[in-house]
Amino acid sequence: MTTSTQVSKQLSKNGYRPPSRFRKELKRSLPWYPFILVNILVFVVFNLVPWLSMFSISLFKTDLLSTREFVGLEHFVTMVSDEKLHKAMLNTFAFTLMYIPLLVVISFVVAVLVNRPLLGMKTFRSLYFLPNITSVAVLALIFRRFLSPRPDGPLNFLIGLVGIAPQRWLIDVNQALPSIVGISLWEAFGYFMVIWLAGLQGIPNELYDAAKVDGANGWRLHRYVTVPLLRPTAAFIIVISTIGALQIFGSIYILTGGGPVNATTTVVYQIYNEAFNFGRFGYASALSVLF
């Protein structure tokens, strides 16, 4: 101990400083910094720079061609009294509130059903996933025909067989948004079914066997084994599907154009309207900064 202390004092007199803990950690992790740098570079180029550019445009009243008038934060103040924006926010909230619970439940139930080792289950999985790899535009055009308000429209014809009057699915103020929800569910549930399926197949069979020994069966197996172990999967699905719901655009653009009477105009579609239909690129940029 005395010798070690004497050596340390002698090294200090000669100007030597032992490397600090921070320098040791820095030297040890130095080979990994290039990998982090790549991610930082991608974030800066594709996220930060566009956001800053968009924010700079939001400070001007401009059509991006000739006129350019500095207005400061006026566009952000305008949002407070913009009734169309408030309506779009309400529609987006209503869409998300209807869409997320139905998507989570339907995709989970289907995943449980196709997780059984029965003949033909792989075919069913592929069929359920098919809408997810089909173009949104193609699906929207198919549903526009399927939801035709004419009495001889496919869906109206089917419900007419049980005595229900023809419905104006996409052109009725009260039915348009729920119709978009239904179409969006059909488009997306196959993808989330696969995620649920991966979670289900990651649960060891021994846990189900142990639960059966304790007397659990049917509903209790799912309640006490499946559901608790799938909470991380559920959290992931809820987060990802919520992001998708808040960004809904394609189906609305093709099927309803935000109508009827702005009944299906969401925040993203309102941003599109402000920029490309009204030519208010500054205000659209301000909306994009916040939303």
**pLDDT of 12 above 60:** no
For the chain, give every domain's residue range. 17-58, 75-290
Per residue in 149-206, pLDDT (tens digit) is 998 899 999 999 999 999 999 999 999 999 999 999 999 999 999 999 999 999 888 8
As a whole number, mean pLDDT of residues 244-253 equals 94
3-class secondary structure, 40: helix
- Calpha distance 68→75 (Å, rounded): 14
Q: How confident is the model at residue 18 (pLDDT cuts 50, 70, 90)?
A: low
Q: How far apart are the C-alpha atoms of 256 and 258, rounded to whole Å?
A: 5
Q: Say if CB 67 and CB 74 are below 8 A apart.
A: no
pLDDT attached to residue 17: 56
- Tell me how long the chain is: 291
Average pLDDT estimate for 269-283: 94
- Pull the structure tokens for residue 145: 């025909």
What is the pLDDT at residue 146?
94
Class of domain 75-290: mainly alpha
pLDDT at 223: 84
pLDDT digit string (tens) for 65-109? 777 889 999 999 999 999 999 999 999 999 999 999 999 999 999
- Give the pLDDT band of residue 13 (cuts 50, 70, 90): low
Rounded to the nearest integer, the mean pLDDT of the chain is 88
Backbone φ and ψ for 260, nearest 5 degrees, come out as -75, 140
pLDDT tens per residue across span 107-138: 999 999 898 877 778 888 888 899 988 888 89
Contacts of 173 (CB under 8 A, 6+ apart): 260, 261, 263
pLDDT band at 215 (very low <50, low <70, confident <90, very high): confident
pLDDT score of 14:
54
pLDDT value at residue 11: 46
Return the percentage of the chain with pLDDT > 70, whole number: 92
> Residue 188's pLDDT is what?
93
Is residue 6 pLDDT above 80, yes or no?
no
Question: How would residue 260 be classed by pLDDT, with cut points 50, 70 and 90?
Answer: very high
